[in-house]
Structures are given as structure tokens and as C-alpha cells.
Amino acid sequence: MVHAGWDFPPSEFEWEPRPELAASLAKATQLVEDSAVHQRWGWKDPRNSLTLPFWLRLIPNLKVIICLRNPLEVARSLSVRNGTSLAFGLNLWRSYNLAVCSFVAQQDRLVTHYEAYFLIRAASCDGSWIFEYSGLRHRNRPGLFDGNFRFTTSQDSWELLAAQSSPQITELYSELCAEAGPVFQASLG
């Protein structure tokens, strides 16, 4: 990936083995081997949406969980944190989500919605479906789904999103919301 970054993803993704990736591949292989001492392990990093083919080569049975967030909230968060425009943030959201959807088939991923975590907390539920899917153990920690760490929200999100984004972004978000399932869908009605 020449001239690419988290905020400037390439338009095409090439993760075929290449000499310039040898050092990264060796480091990643060692990381996976070191982590194998644990029965289950995982990590969270949105940038992996762009690098999944690399990781899938090393971990073929990798479980992918997509934590879907309203594109407008993402764009606003990036605007506050990095001083970017809303259009930039919306397009970056689309790039990341198109990438992960193209790399991982629907039957091989679990889409959860960021909003659902706050509904779970309000319902005193533990979100066990995520842990069942991933095989990870869950230690219920106070503040796991604490709304105090949520700095941007989009009230009336569908209307605002439709007014400020392209139809492609709204359509992708709608499709992923449907895939996120009943917990999030219940919050809409």
C-alpha cells in the first residue's frame, strides 16, 4: 500500500505476498503465535477493516465482528478529533465499511450496532451474543457500556444522515443496520 493511511485508504486493495510486506508478515506471524497461548483472544481496531485479507491469511478462521456506528456520528467524531470535514468523515466511513464487507462474506461476520450497546446497558443485559459468536470470555466490568464515554450522538439520525450524505452512504448504512438485527431494529420502532 503505497501512499495510504488510516485517513487515506487506497481505492484498490492488494494484499498478495510481496517482498516489502515480509517484515510485517513476520511480525504479525509472531504476534499470532504469541497470542495462541490463550484459548481465545481478540483485538479491536477499525483500521483492520482495510487490512483483513492480510490477517485472514494468517488466521483463516478469524471471527469478524463489525461494530456499526452511524456514519454521521463517525464524521462528527473525526471532525472534533482531527479537524476534518463532515464529507471527509462520511466518505471515510463508507470506505472502511465497503472494505470489510468486500473482504468478509455476510455469513462469516457478525454486525452489531454501536447504539445496541447502550440499549443493552439500559436493559441490564450483558451482550452475551457477541461473546457466544466470538468464543471470547466476558468479564462483566462496571462501565463496559457506559454512555459517559460517548462524546457524539446523532439525534434523528436517519433524517440528518439523509440530508448530509450521499444515497450510497445511506443505503450501505441501512443494509448494515438490517444485518445488525433485532436489538437495533427494536430501538427504531
- Per-residue pLDDT in tens (0 to 9) along the chain, 189 residues: 457 888 998 877 777 778 888 898 999 999 999 988 887 778 888 999 999 999 998 998 888 989 899 999 899 899 999 999 999 999 999 999 999 999 999 998 989 888 776 665 544 455 555 555 555 555 554 444 455 444 445 555 556 666 778 889 989 998 998 998 765 555 554
Q: Which residues contact 75 (CB under 8 A, 6 or more apart)?
A: 84, 86, 87, 88, 89, 90, 92, 93
Domains of the chain, by residue range, sit at: 62-188
The secondary structure of 64-105 as a DSSP string is EEEEE--HHHHHHHHHHHH---HHHHHHHHHHHHHHHHHHS-
Question: What is the model's pLDDT at position 162?
Answer: 67
Question: What is the model's pLDDT at position 96?
Answer: 95
